């Protein structure tokens, strides 16, 4: 059984997609052991609690320095003997020591077709605003391994989503979640759990 930890900062819709996929059998051989958020108000923590999953908040603001937070984050993840760490809208830079320790065992979902609209400053609605401003006809989502760069690790899966006339960043964001993110993140976890990646 693949032991999964999910790191989130907000509502946890990608977390919900993973939990639903486990329930429906779309993800085989994996279980979410812990959900960790940097945001005490993250609804994702409530989603975890309602499923009986350990929900932990570690806020950088609660520590004297970023180094102390980074150490605490690594210590906390180590407690759960995780096989895979899933970044599902986690808006905190992963410490280098954690990337080294969990090399090729941390994945991220990004709301664009990498290498477009990714890297420093591209997160949340900013990605969709940039796609609309550029006038692209296709956008989508990417699941990739996390390395020391920003959105630069090896790509696992991508799914394209059409940009439609009249799209706002909010409408496009929702379509990308529904048509791409909520499909390929569970698929990537299933593939990893079953040796297909």
Please indicate whether residue 110 is annotated as part of the active site.
yes
Q: Single out the residue of 50, 53, 71 nearest to residue 62, CA to CA.
A: 71
Residues 40, 20 contacting (CB under 8 angstroms)? no
Q: 9 by DSSP, 3-state: which?
A: coil
Query: What is the rounded CA–CA span in Å between residue 107 and residue 122?
Result: 17
Catalytic residue among 21, 38, 110, 128: 110
Query: What is the rounded CA–CA span in Å between residue 184 and residue 179?
Result: 9
| φ and ψ at residue 103, rounded to 5 degrees | -55, 130
The 10 Å CB-count burial string (b at 16+, else e) for 148-181 is: eebbebeebbbbebebeeebebeebbebbbebbb
Query: What is the rounded CA–CA span in Å between residue 158 and residue 160?
Result: 7
Q: What angle do CA 120, 67, 127 make, to 5 degrees?
A: 15
Please give the positions annotated as active site.
110
């Amino acid at each position: 059984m693949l032991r999964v930890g999910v790191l989130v900062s907000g509502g946890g819709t990608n977390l919900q997609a993973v939990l639903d996929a486990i329930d429906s059998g779309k993800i085989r051989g994996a279980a979410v052991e812990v959900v960790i958020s940097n945001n005490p108000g993250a609804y994702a923590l409530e989603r975890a609690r309602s499923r009986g999953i350990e929900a932990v908040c570690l806020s950088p603001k609660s520590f004297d320095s970023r180094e102390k937070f980074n150490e605490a984050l690594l210590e906390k993840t180590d407690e759960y003997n995780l096989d895979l760490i899933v970044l599902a809208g986690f808006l905190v830079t992963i410490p280098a020591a954690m990337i080294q320790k969990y090399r090729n065992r941390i994945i991220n979902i990004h709301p664009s077709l990498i290498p477009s609209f990714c890297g420093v400053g591209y997160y949340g609605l900013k990605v969709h605003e940039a796609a609309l401003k550029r006038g692209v006809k296709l956008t989508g989502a990417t699941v990739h391994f996390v390395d020391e760069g920003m959105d630069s690790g090896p790509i696992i899966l991508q799914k394209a989503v059409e940009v439609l006339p009249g799209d706002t960043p909010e409408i496009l964001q929702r379509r990308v979640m529904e048509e791409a993110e909520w499909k390929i993140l569970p698929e990537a976890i299933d593939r990893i759990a079953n040796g297909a990646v």
